[in-house]
Structure 1
Amino acid sequence: MVKINRDKITRLRLAITGTPGVGKHTCAKILCKKLDLELIDINKTIIENNCVAKIDKTNGNEINQKKAKKVLKKVMDFEKRFVVVGHLAPYVMESTDVDLIIVLRRNPYQLRKIYKKRRYSASKIKENVSSEILGITSYDVLKVFGKRKVAEIDITNDNIEKNVEKIEKIVNKQSIKEFGKIDWLSLIYENKDVDILLNKL
């Protein structure tokens, strides 16, 4: 059990991101409740403030990034203790917006099962699974926020409570931030499932 004196945390600006389906929102909600933090949902904020440029129910909506950045910045500037969550974090946020950003990673085999349950289109499944295998979100986060502010967590084999605890330990500096150690591509080659990139898993 990780003990954090939330009364002593006068300022905590945290972001949680990752490929769709990794468990971002579930972890963020539990963390906010435990640490009494404000939850800022990027997707919800974008929709409520008319930042959607084009609606595409099959492959995902097109976002007005410039407008979304301005809206989110206003929301974050108003709060001192928050968790902002969403897969769009590296595209609608800047490095100065947060002190730490956590990238959740999940085994692509698990992700594909999740997407099928959600009834994603074949093209959307291929795009998201390929993105996770290649670490696209992690790479984009690194470009925007820099290595000092970024940590990756593999949530594949643990339950929600354990994964939230991993985040707490990083926040409380009880665990070292790790980045670049998760390698799904080697796993895919080892299992001779390179065709996963072609939507044949």
Structure 2
Amino acid sequence: MMVSITGTPGTGKTAVSSVLRAKGYNVLAQNDTIEKYILEKDEERDAIVIDEDLWADEFPAVDGIIEGHITHILPSERVIVLRCRPDVLEDRLRKRGYSAVKVKENVLAEALDTILIETVECHGDEEILELDTTSAAVEDTAAMIDEFIKGLRPAHFGDTDWSEFLGYDL
């Protein structure tokens, strides 16, 4: 079974995936799979632009977890969307040294539910689990994901509302 762990940068995908890897899951990082799909480096946004459609079309099915901020476009059997309150996310991204433009873009994407909406558009309303990582321990989040993968936790999403942050000044 292929499982995607997705979310805005800074929501905890890599940290949670490390815990799941330690539990024995096969975990693949999105960034380790995209090199041949890079179209350009966007210096202004401090980002790379990839051919997402071609990447998704050519992505070989894996038995395990693929983690990254665009993995929700893959044909996974289950998708976990990690979320983080925008003000906390802003702090996390600034501590990573992200540029002001990149911080603002990602915080706005989180406030607008961008990745959750894209996930629902790609997968319908089945087998999606949305988890708020704002104050959750990495190990607890990993345990919930483990339960979801094993079918012991039902799919659930749509309760996270960061709309109050849409007027938030960065």
What is the TM-score when the length of structure 1 is the normalising length? Answer: 0.78
Q: What is the match of residue 53 of structure 2? A: 66
Extract unaligned runs of 5+ from structure 2: none
Q: What is the match of residue 14 of structure 2? A: 25
Shift of 1:171: 1.9
Q: Structure 1 residue runs of 4+, over 4 Å off? A: none
Letter in 2 for 1:98: S
Moved more, 138-147 or 148-157: 148-157
Shift of 1:55: 1.2
Question: Once the two structures are superposed, what CA deviation does each residue of 1:97-118 show, in whole Å capped at 9, x if it has no partner?
Answer: 3210000001111110011112
- Specify the SS of the correspondent of 1:169: helix
More helix by share: 1
Letter in 2 for 1:69: A
Letter in 2 for 1:19: T
Q: What is the match of residue 40 of structure 1? A: 28
The answer to which structure, 1 or 2, has the higher relative contact order (CA under 8 A, 6+ apart) is 2
Q: What is the match of residue 122 of structure 1? A: 100
Distance 1:158 1:90, change over 3 A: closer
Whether the 8 Å contact between 2:79 and 2:128 is mirrored in structure 1 is yes
Q: Aligned ranges for residues 20-169 of structure 1 at < 5 Å? A: 20-34=9-23, 36-47=24-35, 50-59=36-45, 60-72=47-59, 74=60, 76=61, 79=62, 81-91=63-73, 93=74, 97-169=75-147
Distance 1:108 1:167, change over 3 A: same
d(CA) in 2 for partners of 1:46, 1:176:
31
Q: What is the match of residue 149 of structure 2? A: 171
- Specify the SS of the correspondent of 2:136: coil
- Aligned residue pairs total 169
Q: What is the match of residue 9 of structure 1? A: none
Moved more, 51-60 or 143-152: 51-60
Residue number among 164, 167, 170 corresponding to 1:195 in the alignment: 167
Shift of 1:177: 1.9
Extract unaligned runs of 5+ from structure 1: 1-11, 189-193
